[in-house]
Amino acid sequence: MSLFDAINNALGANEAHAGLVTAAMEALGGSSGGGLVEAFQAKGLGDVVASWIGTGQNLPVTAEQIQSVLGGGLVQQLAARVGLPPEAASALLAQILPQAVDRLTPEGTVPAGGLLGQVTGLLRGLR
């Protein structure tokens, strides 16, 4: 079973979900996915994103916190990219981002290829 299949089974994810997660990671800076971690830390949510990467329970995030971390303009761009209203994109990211990051970091650390590298590899497998 591929990692995408695992995410799909666990989250009910589809290509649009994976695309939204990938777009958020790309927009936040680079192939390592470190931009995602840094963005959450900058908004005082470092413990939240660390819980997703770690092996313990994932802390929840709200659509409003996603808006705060990403900014309204970026949320609008991401939403347009996947054909959703901005509010729906924020809510969807709040639902799937914690679980996606958790699934992409099964050992409790960011993999050598980075989070974005993992997601990009999954999407290539769909084509």
Give the H or E element holding residue 31: none
pTM of this prediction exceeds 0.85: no
* pLDDT over 80 at 33, yes or no: no
Question: Which pair of tokens denotes residue 119?
Answer: 């997601």
Question: Which pair of tokens denotes residue 104?
Answer: 């992409």
pLDDT of res. 65: 97
Q: Which domains does the chain have, with CATH numbers?
A: 3-118 (1.10.10.690)
Q: Closest Cα to residue 23, out of 10, 37, 33?
A: 33
Provide the CB-side half-sphere exposure for 65 (13 A, CA).
Answer: 19
46-104: pLDDT as tens digits? 999 999 989 999 999 999 999 999 999 999 998 998 888 999 999 999 998 888 888 77
**Rounded to an integer, what distance in angstroms lies between the CA atom of residue 73 and that of residue 121?**
27
Phi, psi of 64, deg, nearest 5: -65, -40
**Rounded to an integer, what distance in angstroms lies between the CA atom of residue 30 and that of residue 68?**
20
Which segment of 37-46, 54-63, 116-125 scores lowest on mean pLDDT? 116-125
